[in-house]
Structure formats: structure tokens, C-alpha cells
Amino acid sequence: MKNPSRKTELVLTVILAAALLLPAPAEAQKMKHSPPQGSKASGGANRSINGGAQRSSNRPAPRAASGGDRSVPGRSSGNRTNVGNNVNVDNSRRNVNINIDNSKDINVHRNTVVRAGRMPYVRPPYVYGGHRYYCHVPYHYHPYHPYYWGPVWHPWGFFVATLATTAIIVSVANQQYHYDQGVYYVASGGGYTVVSAPVGATITTLPAGSQTVVVNETTNNYYYGGTYYEKSGSGYTVVAPTAGTVVESLPEGGEEVRIGDVTYVKIGETYYQPIEKDGKGMYEVVQVEADKK
């Protein structure tokens, strides 16, 4: 018969070893509810499949690997409100000329033909880009500064809701225009839009401030606000500009156009070359021809 005390000692040893291998109940509960190291805490990005990837409110946003919160040019930023410094740009006023009605094609009313002058050119033309640009006076650049023709004059495209009582109706080629103090309008959009003076329109009196310009040895034109008039039997008739005509001032609405080494001022489809005459900066109407070579 085996020794009973020896058997009891062996049983106690087995129980004690098992107890040492098993975790305590409190530790087991703690381990059950604690996430393993490296996993997201409750409320993290993977908290809910249907809830989307939401960042935990108590976790800071991750920083860029290349140094803090500095954005890298050319890459998208998490905060797009300041991208390109657009927060201070007033996009509601893209057109600073708030009275210009760009919905109408006013270009169809512009003078596109320059009449050839009678005087032959003794200077060779400036040739560039398949065209020849003829002028009598040498090129002398000076910046284009539009001339102020007074408060009643408006550039092409200017829109007014009503006309003054002094406005009259002028008809040219079955088109009706409204004329007032050197400015021509057409009805549009519940108001009136300024257009270039239609060739052939005749008025009885020149606008105040008109200038006399020499066309040739026998003909003078009258010039006002970019429009040319000739004396006719019944008054003064709008004509296209004549090549070689020299004027002191150009109206608003032109643009400087660089053609090769020469900078012209373009009004509608008419080119003006900056020149110097009698010590003053002036402009000559350019005759443009296609280079046939």
C-alpha cells in the first residue's frame, strides 16, 4: 500500500502549479476589454463600418512626415480654405468695368476698314508675320494713355439704362442707332449699349471738342472720341479712318499690341503707330497689307 501523505502532496503540487499558470480574475477582465498594443482605441477610425473613417476627438491629427504641419507646394492640403490665398479674393466682381455689357457682340459695329491715303509712302513698311505696316512718320514709342473726352462720352460696350432727352435717332443700312453728343447707342437688354460710330451716319452738328485732322492736301476730317467725320451737303458724315492721318489722342477701349519689335495701339481693328511730331507724342493711322511675297 502506497503512502497516503505522498499522494496528497502530489495533488497539492499539481493544484499549485495550475494556479500559477492561470491569470487572476481581475487581470483577465482587464485584458478582455483592453485593445492590444498598436490597435485603434474605441471611437477610432475603424470604430464603425457604417460610420466612415472618423478621427477620434482625443487623438491629434497625424503630422506630415517631412516636418510638422507645413504644406508642400503642389500637393493637396487637408485644409483647403486657404489654398492659393483665395479667401481674400472677391470673385463676385470679376469684371471691374461694371457698366460694360459683355453679353452683346459689339464687335460687329466696329470700323474694320482703313481707307488708303492718297500720299505715296516714301518709307519702307515694317514687315512682320506676313503683313506690311505702312506709316509716313518714323516709329517713336510712348505709352498709351486714353484721353478723357468728358462725362458724356463712353467707350464701346458701355451700358446705360436710359438716354438723355437730347438723343436723336439715326438710321444706317436699316439699322437704328441713338446718337447723343458724339456717342452712338443701340437698344439692348432693356437699355442702350454704346457702339462705334456707324460709317455713313450723318449728323447736323459736330460734338463739342471735335478736332480738325489733315487727311491730305485737299481734305480735312473732324475727329472726336475715335470717330472721323467728313463735311457733307447735309452735315457731317461718319467715315472710316484714312491711313496716314495723325491724331493727338486716342480714346478708352484700345490696347497696346506688340508686333515684332513695334508696339501699336489697336482701336477696334484699326492700328495706330506711336510717333513724335512737333515734339509731341501722337499717333498715325497704319495701313496694313498682306505680304504677297
Contact 185, 201 (CB under 8 A): no
- Nearest alpha-carbon partner for 205 in 248, 166, 156: 166
- Nearest alpha-carbon partner for 107 in 259, 253, 249, 222: 253
Phi, psi of 135 (to 5 degrees): -150, 150
Q: In sequence order, which residues have a C-beta less than 8 Å from that of residue 222 and are 6 or more positions away?
A: 206, 210, 211, 212, 213, 228, 229, 230, 231, 236
Examine the pLDDT at 72 and tell me if it is beyond 90: no
Specify the length of the chain in residues.
293
Q: Quote the CA–CA distance of 270 and 3 in Å, as a whole number.
A: 129
Rounded mean pLDDT, 35-48: 42
Q: Quote the CA–CA distance of 16 and 160 in Å, as a whole number.
A: 103
Examine the pLDDT at 1 and tell me if it is beyond 90: no
Element (H, E) at 64: none
pLDDT of 15 reads 65
3-state secondary structure of 223: strand
Contact 200, 174 (CB under 8 A): no
Residue 176: pLDDT band (50, 70, 90) is very high
3-state helix vs strand vs coil in the chain, percent to 5 = 15, 30, 55
Partners of 274 in beta bridges: 283
Residue 216: pLDDT band (50, 70, 90) is confident
How many other CB atoms are found less than 10 A from the CB of residue 107?
13
Domain boundaries, the chain: 106-290
pLDDT of 46 reads 41
Strand pairing category for 262-267 and 255-259: antiparallel
pLDDT of 95 reads 30
Contact 181, 166 (CB under 8 A): yes
Give the model confidence (pLDDT) of 192-213 as tens digits: 999 999 999 999 999 999 999 9
pLDDT of 44 reads 41
Give the model confidence (pLDDT) of 259-288 as tens digits: 999 999 999 889 999 999 999 999 999 999
Partners of 31 in beta bridges: none
Examine the pLDDT at 132 and tell me if it is beyond 70: yes
Q: Which of 21-25, 68-72, 162-166, 170-174 is the least confident region? A: 68-72
Task: Provide the 8-state DSSP code for 216.
Answer: S
pLDDT of 289 reads 93
User: In this structure, what C-alpha cell is assigned to residue 227?
Assistant: 470717330
Mean pLDDT score across all residues of the chain:
74
